[in-house]
Each structure stands twice: as C-alpha cells, then as structure tokens.
Amino acid sequence: MTWTVGFDLDMTLIDSRPGVARAIDLLGVEFDLPLSGTAFADRLGPPLATLLVEAGAPEDLVPALVTRYRALYPTIVSSIPPMPGAQAALAAVEARNGRVLVVTGKHAPLAQLHIAELGWRIDHLAGDLWSAGKAATLREQGASLFVGDHVGDMNGARAADVFAVGVSTGPCTADELRAAGADVVLDDLTEFPAWLATEFGAVTA
C-alpha cells in the first residue's frame, strides 16, 4: 500500500531562524525600517507578507519588501541547517516505502533551494500554503499524517482529516499544538523514527 507523510519545512525540517533574521535585518537597513530580524524569526510560520505587516512594515511597501527578500534569500540558504533528527525522520519514512511530501508556507522556489542544498529526496513539494490552505494538497497527495511545528500546521492536518503530529521546535508550545488538534506531540524529530516504528500500523491502517 502506498502511503505518504507530509512535513512542514521551517522549524520542522530546517532551523531557518538565523538566516531569516539576517535577511530581515538587511531588508530593514535597505528600506530604512525598524525591523528586528530576531523577533521576526521567532514567529516563523505564517506567510511572509503577514509577518511583515505584523512587524510594522507599511502595507504599501510589502510587495516590494517581499520581492527584495526573495532576491536576498538564496545568499542565506547554505547557512541554514536541518533540524535535529530531520534526516533520520525522512529516512524512516523512505525505509518503510513511504512517500515524503513537504507542504510549506515558504515560497516554493526558496523551499526547493533548501531541499537541493541538503540533498534530500522529496517526492512532492508544495509551497506558499498556510494553515487550512495546506489541506487540499495533503488530501490530493494521499497523506496519512502531517508533521509540523505550528498551530497552523495542525489546522491544515485537521482540515485534511489526516493524523496530526506536532513537534515543539517552533514558536508554539506542546499545549498550543495539542489545543489546535495535534494527535501526538514530539519534542523534536529525533523522536520521530521510534514513534513511527511503534505507531506506523495504527496510523496507516
């Protein structure tokens, strides 16, 4: 039987905080805006435009900011490491003949840069999707479960009616993930292979 595991990207598979913080600081200098890269990176999850507005960027500047950020972004990709356990988590799915799906709010071409940089084999990538907006892709790709660090990821899993695995490696606490509908919450992806080995049959039955 073919089965698929979906993963979020930022703060689930990759620790993008340092690189994103650096890019946002550069953006603030170029546009003379009081943007704090560190504060920005601590809230990763929602779409870039949403985060920029929440950070105080004038709405009329947001399209230009997004364009410039995307131009800067490739320069930081090599400095962004995988999250602990990410490689092993992907390998655990592949070892059980599963498909790996990445569904992320990050702009798809930028997400692909990370996948290429890290040499990961991904069966399908879908970008520019947030919260319940991830559900259609999860359903279309036949996902059995979705792994993410944000309440938005749990919303996406719930909307798709797939098993929701939370990892408390992003801005949301374990309690927040559970309240958003997580069926299980792991401390990080280092716990995922053992959990999958134990729960695989129940999840994919």
In tens, the pLDDT along 171-182 reads 999 999 999 999
Model confidence pLDDT, tens digit, residues 22-80: 999 999 999 999 999 999 999 999 999 999 999 999 999 999 999 999 999 999 999 99
DSSP 84: T
Average the pLDDT over 101-129 and give the result. 97
Residue 201: the pLDDT is 65
* 102: β partners: 7, 125
Predicted pLDDT of residue 38: 95
Max Cα–Cα distance, the chain, nearest Å: 55
List, for residues 149-202, the tens digit of each pLDDT value. Answer: 999 999 999 999 999 999 999 999 999 999 999 999 999 999 999 999 998 766
pLDDT for res 203: 62
Is the full-model pTM beyond 0.75?
Answer: yes
Q: What is the predicted pLDDT for the residue at 2?
A: 76
